[in-house]
């Protein structure tokens, strides 16, 4: 889900040796950049729009056109020589079947954050109302949890203490076969944290239930 530590996770994996291509390395909302490849974001937006949705309005059903598949194949071909290529875009969770059909052996790494912290972050960035933010949190994290139940993959908790999360990320990187970080500087620091899980009222029961499920399966 957006505002859930995806940039920190992706930047850390990039630092460990994952090739991402041309990514955003600065924005006013992510001072180290969101580490998204704009070409992938544009394609994901295109698929969502064709299905009557957007990143903040997940469509009920999604189908990829031949044009979408062609564009995706052309995009992936640009990175075919990379020993290990990855991309980050939360939108991909909403249209995942198309990507899976193109990359059957794709590896996933997930991350989640307390709903109240996400609500606070979306309110600051997008002036989004709490009800819509919680609805989006549930839609994205439900998709992630559903995929996790199909085929287990590492899921991290952005609410973990800095040193704990950093150790877990680089354990995942090692298991993926990435060479590891060179030098002592870490991509992720607690400076990224601007909203607390303690901020906000009691969670609706289904939101709280999914959050507890994610905590249970996380590393």
Span 47-93, pLDDT tens digits = 999 999 999 999 999 999 999 999 999 999 999 999 999 999 999 99
**pTM of the complete model beyond 0.85:** yes
pLDDT at 189: 67
Helix (H) or strand (E) holding 130: helix 130-150
**The pLDDT of residue 190 is above 80:** no
pLDDT of 196 over the 60 cut: no
User: How is residue 176 written in tokens?
Assistant: 């993926």
Q: Which of 98, 205, 144 is nearest to 4 (CA)?
A: 144
Listed in order, strand segments (DSSP E) in the chain are 110-112, 155-157
Does residue 168 contact residue 156 with C-beta atoms inside 8 Å? yes
CA distance 48 to 167: 35
- Tens of pLDDT, residues 25-35: 545 445 465 68
Contact 176, 107 (CB under 8 A): yes
């Amino acid at each position: 889900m957006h505002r859930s530590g995806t940039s920190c996770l992706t930047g850390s994996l990039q630092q460990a040796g994952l090739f991402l291509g041309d990514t955003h390395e600065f924005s006013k909302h992510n001072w180290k950049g969101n580490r998204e490849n704009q070409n992938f974001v544009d394609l994901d937006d295109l698929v969502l729009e064709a299905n009557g949705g957007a990143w903040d309005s997940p469509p009920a059903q999604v189908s990829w056109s031949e044009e979408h598949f062609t564009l995706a194949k052309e995009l992936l071909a640009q990175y075919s020589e990379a020993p290990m290529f990855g991309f980050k875009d939360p939108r991909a969770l909403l249209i995942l079947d198309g990507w899976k059909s193109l990359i059957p052996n794709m590896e996933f790494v997930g991350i989640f954050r307390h709903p109240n912290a996400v609500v606070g972050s979306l309110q600051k960035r997008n002036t989004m109302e709490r009800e819509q933010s919680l609805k989006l949190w549930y839609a994205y994290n439900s998709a992630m949890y559903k995929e996790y139940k199909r085929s287990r993959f590492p899921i991290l908790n952005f609410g973990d203490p800095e040193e704990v999360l950093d150790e877990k990320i680089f354990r995942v990187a090692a298991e993926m076969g990435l060479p590891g970080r060179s030098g002592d500087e870490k991509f992720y620091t607690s400076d990224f944290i601007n909203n607390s899980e303690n901020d906000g009222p009691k969670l609706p029961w289904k939101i709280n239930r999914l959050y507890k499920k994610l905590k249970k399966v996380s590393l």
